[in-house]
Chain A
Amino acid sequence: MEEYKIEMKINGERLVATTQADESLLKFLRRNGFFEVKCGCEKGECGTCTVILQGKAVKSCITLALQANNKEVWTIRGMEKFELGRKLQESFVQYGAIQCGFCTPGMILVAKAYLDKNPIPDRKEIKREIAGNLCRCTGYKKIIDAIYAVAEENKKMN
């Protein structure tokens, strides 16, 4: 099997590693110890493996590792480096948006990418935006609460 050397910046740190042509970014990341990227279905149908690639949320199970070559990837472990990331983490904790926690990394990342683009969404918009990330525990209410609280704070600061 042919190996390809790739390089990416993950959470601000350079990683050089090898991959194979058909390896997903999800598998690549987990194989390199980024276990915080969760695997729920490997078909793009659950959103647990969401990462931020070049500023956009993507499902890493339906992205080739090679497609992230020379790019910037952020996982939940890198969110502490952003004010918005920290606020979202804090808010998820505070509002009880976390139960089993398996969807949490994906949820926070999709919320981060979205609020970067649209800092003051309403609840309906938040609900629409997280529709690619399944959660089996919370019924979504408290996740929406948590993201909305950050949006409200953004509103106050504007």
Chain B
Amino acid sequence: MKQIKYISPRTKEEALEVLQQEKDRACIVAGCSNVLPNLKDKKIAPQILVDITTLESLKGIFKKEGKILLGPLTTINELISSKIILEEYPVLTQAAREFADPIVRNTATVGGNLVTASPAADLAVPLLSLDAIVKIESLGDKREVNLINFFTAPGETILNSHELVVGIEFKQSDINKNGCFMKIGQRKAMAISIATLAVNLDWKENTINQIRIAAGSVAPTPLRLTGVEEFLKNKKLNQELIEEAVIKVSKEVNPISDIRASEGYRRYISGILFKRAIERLAN
């Protein structure tokens, strides 16, 4: 018979100790929207569930020195109702509003969405376009990783089994203030994305100073389209440029065909989503 244990550490340190000891026998649980279905389907078989939902230090949205720090246990609905996120990082609010459904948003967390590392992780995409940093801790050690380097494969990240995501951080800046998130799914709620795309844009007098483009469901991991970003940098924003960039977006994404959509449609629609996002930001 299966033997599975549960622990609810009282402090972050205690959680890190458990992880240090149990390593890949442990599975961290918070919002549970993925863990429980995965347990049921026997996709995972941990020996201990480490419930971190009571760790207050991992909750909340904090503003400090030109930066925002999100506790990984911040729920999607907390993001939606945050005034500062809406005003300074609208791309994140937009994505959060399209995340799963209103009930799941009560419990699903930002950290959970990142560590699950689904290619279709809806929050990863705006966080990529915000150039977020992931703060990671383990017993007696810390490190920071740019989100762009966080995902390695479907369901996989650079996170070691003894490590815990303790924060997600991004800068307060003009570019982060001007963002747009686009999603296409099979339906309007409770939809696993066919494609998502986020753009953050800093431009002056029609010239692009800096642009960040991130996409989801169109590659083994959520990704930044750095090729297109590079191409657009310092260029004058006009219709021809957008059209050229649309083609480049379609080429840079790396989707598969599955039951939700074909590779061809995903390439095509990524370009369209990019065009729509840039049009909205430039107007």
Give me the interface of A with B, judged by CB distance under 8 Å: 1-2, 4, 20-22, 24, 42-45, 47, 50, 56-59, 61-64, 66-67, 110, 114, 128-133
Query: Could you say which of A44, A58, A131 contacts B189, with CB atoms under 8 Å apart?
Result: A131
Name which residue of chain B comes closest to A2, CB basis: B5
A32 to chain B, nearest CB (A): 18
**With a CB–CB cut-off of 8 A, which chain A residues contact B48?**
21
Q: Is the CB of A67 within 8 A of B51?
A: yes
B139 located at the interface, meaning its Cβ lies under 8 Å from any Cβ of chain A in the complex: no
Q: Is the CB of B51 within 8 A of A44?
A: no
Q: Is the CB of B29 within 8 A of A64?
A: yes
Complex CA distance for A16 and B189, rounded to whole angstroms: 37
Given A131-B102, A132-B103, A132-B189, output 10 extra A-B contacts at Cβ < 8 Å.
Answer: A47-B103, A57-B102, A57-B103, A57-B106, A62-B107, A64-B51, A67-B51, A131-B190, A132-B100, A132-B102
**With a CB–CB cut-off of 8 A, which chain B residues contact A131?**
101-102, 188-190
Q: Is the CB of B36 within 8 A of A64?
A: yes
Query: Could you say which of A1, A22, A66, A132 contacts B101, with CB atoms under 8 Å apart?
Result: A132
**With a CB–CB cut-off of 8 A, which chain B residues contact A2?**
3-6
A134 to chain B, nearest CB (A): 8
**With a CB–CB cut-off of 8 A, which chain B residues contact A58?**
103, 106-107
**With a CB–CB cut-off of 8 A, which chain B residues contact A24?**
36
Query: Could you say which of B4, B51, B102, B190 contacts A20, with CB atoms under 8 Å apart?
Result: B4
Q: Is the CB of B103 within 8 A of A59?
A: yes
Contacts known (A1-B3, A20-B4, A63-B32); A128 close to B106, Cβ less than 8 A: no
Complex CA distance for A44 and B102, rounded to whole angstroms: 12
Complex CA distance for A22 and B48, rounded to whole angstroms: 9
**With a CB–CB cut-off of 8 A, which chain A residues contact B106?**
56-58
**With a CB–CB cut-off of 8 A, which chain A residues contact B102?**
57, 110, 114, 128-132
Complex CA distance for A110 and B102, rounded to whole angstroms: 9
Complex CA distance for A7 and B37, rounded to whole angstroms: 24
B241 located at the interface, meaning its Cβ lies under 8 Å from any Cβ of chain A in the complex: no
Complex CA distance for A2 and B7, rounded to whole angstroms: 12
Contacts known (A22-B49, A131-B189); A63 close to B101, Cβ less than 8 A: no
Complex CA distance for A129 and B100, rounded to whole angstroms: 12
Contacts known (A44-B37, A110-B102); A1 close to B4, Cβ less than 8 A: yes
Q: Which of B5, B40, B103, B107 has the most chain A CB atoms closer than 10 A to its own CB?
A: B103
A-B contact pairs, 21 of them (CB 8 A): A1-B1, A1-B2, A1-B3, A1-B4, A4-B6, A21-B6, A22-B39, A44-B36, A44-B37, A44-B104, A59-B33, A59-B107, A62-B37, A63-B32, A63-B36, A64-B29, A64-B36, A66-B51, A131-B101, A131-B189, A132-B103
Complex CA distance for A132 and B188, rounded to whole angstroms: 11
**With a CB–CB cut-off of 8 A, which chain B residues contact A59?**
33, 103-104, 107
Complex CA distance for A133 and B190, rounded to whole angstroms: 9
B18 to chain A, nearest CB (A): 13
**With a CB–CB cut-off of 8 A, which chain A residues contact B39?**
22
Name which residue of chain B comes closest to A132, CB basis: B101
B209 located at the interface, meaning its Cβ lies under 8 Å from any Cβ of chain A in the complex: no
**With a CB–CB cut-off of 8 A, which chain B residues contact A63?**
32, 36, 107
Query: Could you say which of B4, B5, B104, B189 contacts A62, with CB atoms under 8 Å apart?
Result: B104
Name which residue of chain B comes closest to A63, CB basis: B32
Contacts known (A2-B5, A132-B189); A42 close to B107, Cβ less than 8 A: no
Q: Is the CB of B6 within 8 A of A66?
A: yes
Complex CA distance for A30 and B278, rounded to whole angstroms: 50
Within B145-170, the residues touching A (CB, 8 Å) are none
B53 located at the interface, meaning its Cβ lies under 8 Å from any Cβ of chain A in the complex: yes
**With a CB–CB cut-off of 8 A, which chain B residues contact A62?**
31-33, 36-37, 104, 107
B8 located at the interface, meaning its Cβ lies under 8 Å from any Cβ of chain A in the complex: yes
**With a CB–CB cut-off of 8 A, which chain B residues contact A61?**
36
**With a CB–CB cut-off of 8 A, which chain A residues contact B40?**
42-43
Q: Is the CB of A110 within 8 A of B103?
A: yes
